[in-house]
Copies of this chain bind each other. A is one copy, B any other.
């Protein structure tokens, strides 16, 4: 922590600042410049709030030196975390894992067909929403418990591990009974009560970056899960909100290598939500793998034109086959593999 002092600070104010630092068992290092004096604070001041220091009379600005996340950081753990999903699937290793399936579970036939079609073409995990977060209370909210049952059936019948979202603490338990990965969605990235409860479970959690979240905030939310005891966290970049109107969101491609340099956690990319346009899903999938993503999450619907939600970004099984073929080549070109 560094304190930049006001130009005209009084001696009394200065002394009070030094005293406060010493009271907290930290050590001040003073540098007097021509226009400003700065005070470095030595010792672990991570848990002290920036605002606390800004309050002291005579302090103009407070600058944080240490990154505020710890368990999620690459400094804390040098080697990549590889998360075991079950069925022999692992995320974070050399293989790029493709997660695919419909936005929402809609019927037994739909989810079984989708699972079969994506498995056949190389997907390793089945996605499908049972509880759907919808901007409008009048939109289709998912099949809920019935959707979970259908996912369970698909998992058993087709043999793919399953990821699905929990929107509330009450849903976490139910979801965990069926799912191999619990998804925490972008809108809940800072639902801290939900994160804490997920942190007390052992199931892998895939945490999606909020539409307005910085990478630092995403890592702090991961820290909520990690510090509550669950080490199995997967990060997901799914696009941030900007002023651009031709795409639904702006997928932040640099977040993939940046997060991997800041953290040991695996990073998955979601080009379907990240662009909101079907014809952009394939090129952005290829880009994500080229940039170092450990996985892709792609919406595939057997009949997109009948989808009850997010149809405009869903691929048909044939398009998904095309994606897999092309993405395999890119994975190989960057030294990764997709089996």
A139 contacts B by Cβ under 8 Å:
yes
- What 1/0 flags go to A305-339 for Cβ under 8 Å of B? 11111111100000000000010011011100000
Query: Complex formed: what's the CA distance from A186 to B40 in Å?
Result: 34
Question: Which residues does chain B contribute within 8 Å of A250, judged by CB atoms?
Answer: 240, 242, 250, 252, 254
Q: Which 5 A-B pairs have CB atoms at the shortest separation, nearest pair first?
A: A212-B212, A29-B31, A31-B40, A168-B193, A55-B305
Given contacts A38-B65, A168-B193, A169-B168, contact A311 B51 (CB under 8 A): yes
Main SS class of interface, A = mixed
A88 contacts B by Cβ under 8 Å:
no
What is the distance, in angstroms, from A333's C-beta to the closest C-beta of chain B?
Answer: 4
Given contacts A66-B35, A227-B137, contact A307 B51 (CB under 8 A): yes
Q: Please state if A4 and B243 are interface contacts (CB–CB under 8 Å).
A: no
Q: Please state if A49 and B139 are interface contacts (CB–CB under 8 Å).
A: yes
- What 1/0 flags go to A272-293 for Cβ under 8 Å of B? 0011010110011011111110
Smallest CB gap from A171: residue in B:
B193
Question: Which residues does chain B contribute within 8 Å of A93, judged by CB atoms?
Answer: none
Query: Complex formed: what's the CA distance from A243 to B333 in Å?
Result: 33
Q: Please state if A241 and B243 are interface contacts (CB–CB under 8 Å).
A: yes
A-B pairs with beta carbons under 8 Å apart, 24 shown: A2-B38, A29-B29, A29-B31, A34-B43, A38-B65, A40-B40, A49-B140, A51-B310, A133-B190, A135-B220, A136-B220, A168-B191, A168-B194, A169-B169, A171-B193, A187-B190, A212-B243, A246-B258, A250-B252, A251-B253, A257-B280, A261-B279, A286-B290, A287-B288
Given contacts A38-B40, A42-B34, A51-B311, contact A167 B193 (CB under 8 A): yes
Interface size for A (C-beta < 8 A) is 117
Smallest CB gap from A132: residue in B:
B192
What is the distance, in angstroms, from A67's C-beta to the closest C-beta of chain B?
Answer: 10
Given contacts A287-B287, A329-B334, contact A312 B136 (CB under 8 A): no
Q: Please state if B290 and A283 are interface contacts (CB–CB under 8 Å).
A: yes
On A, residues with C-beta under 8 Å from B are 2, 4, 7, 29-36, 38, 40-44, 46-47, 49-52, 54-57, 61, 63, 65-66, 68-69, 75, 133-140, 167-171, 187-188, 190-194, 196, 210-212, 214-217, 220-221, 223-224, 227-228, 240-247, 250-258, 261-262, 274-275, 277, 279-280, 283-284, 286-292, 304-313, 326, 329-330, 332-334
Question: Which residues does chain B contribute within 8 Å of A66, judged by CB atoms?
Answer: 35-36
Query: Complex formed: what's the CA distance from A215 to B46 in Å?
Result: 29
Question: Which residues does chain B contribute within 8 Å of A55, judged by CB atoms?
Answer: 304-307, 311-312
Query: Complex formed: what's the CA distance from A279 to B277 in Å?
Result: 30
